Each structure stands twice: as C-alpha cells, then as structure tokens.
Structure 1
Amino acid sequence: MNPLNHKKLLLSKWTAVKPVAKQKHFLVSRVIQPDDPADAIQLVEIEAVFSKATQVIAWRELQDSSVWRQGWV
C-alpha cells in the first residue's frame, strides 16, 4: 500500500502497473472538492501524459500498489 496524504495529491505523478493503450504515466490534474466544504475529498482527476485523456477516480485507489506506483517509473 502506497502511503498517501490527500493534501499533497495535486500535480503528483503516478505510473500504472498495467498500462492500457500506451497510457502508463499519469498526473493528478485536479482535486475535486465536495459540495459541502466540511466533507472529505473523495475524487481526483488524473490525466494521461501520453494522450492527455482524463478520468475521475477515488483518490484512495492510488494507495493500491498492485495498480499504481508513485512517481514515474
């Protein structure tokens, strides 16, 4: 499990363990704020470096070391 602090997610770099369609390296391009500011952050938008495609995922998914590695490996 990757140690992770949700406050340091923005612009962090990630490598997919199993790349799909040449999308291996990703950058957290946006932290999606909840409607109620008292609620905790749940979602982030990641952008593929190669294709610039974006997807929204739960930020806690990045802690799964079988799917993601922190940094560009």
Structure 2
Amino acid sequence: MQTQKRQINPRKLLHSKWTAVKPVNKEKHFMVTRLMMPDLETQVITAVEIEAVMTGRRQEMPWRDLQNTELWKQGWVQ
C-alpha cells in the first residue's frame, strides 16, 4: 500500500495547525511555530518546528512529513 501525500505550499506553513493521526502522550494538536531555512540566499525550507498545544513541547521535523496523511491531518480535527 502506497502512502498518500497531500500538496502543501511550504511558504504557507508558518502558524498552520495539524492533528497527529496517532497521538503520543496525549499530544494531538500542533502548530508550526518556526520554519528552518539553512541557506538564507535560496530561502529553501528544509524543516519546521512544531509545538504541541497541550504541553508546549516543541520538536523539529522535516516539513515534508506533514504531507503524509497516515501521520498528519491538516487543521485541528477531533
């Protein structure tokens, strides 16, 4: 079975909201709080920092992981 991917514009990720399909430690809802661009000349986004709404815990991850519909749903879903 092939993993389904959604189209995402990486430039519109900042402050976007996401729901983990399989929450860990009751952390279900997240917000993108920072975009990582190691090369400021090309402005290529390589990763994002997401923050768990419930705990405030932050983690860095490749932004393309958000395209995986088996891991993430766009928006805050119940």
User: TM class, shorter-chain normalised?
Assistant: over 0.9
Q: Note if 1:48 corresponds to 2:56.
A: no
Q: Give 3-state SS (helix, strand or coil) of 2:32's partner.
A: strand
C-alpha displacement of 1:28? 0.1
Q: Is the 8 A contact 1:26 1:47 kept in 2?
A: yes
2:71 alignment partner in structure 1: 67
| Runs of 4+ with deviation above 3 angstroms | none
What is the TM-score normalised by the length of structure 1?
A: 0.93
Structure 1 unmatched runs, 5+: none
Structure 2 unmatched runs, 5+: none
Matched-pair identity in %: 52
- 1:39 and 1:27 mapped to 2: Cα distance? 21
CA RMSD of aligned residues (A): 1.1
Could you say which structure has the larger radius of gyration? 2
Aligned residues: 73
- 1:37 and 1:69 mapped to 2: Cα distance? 31
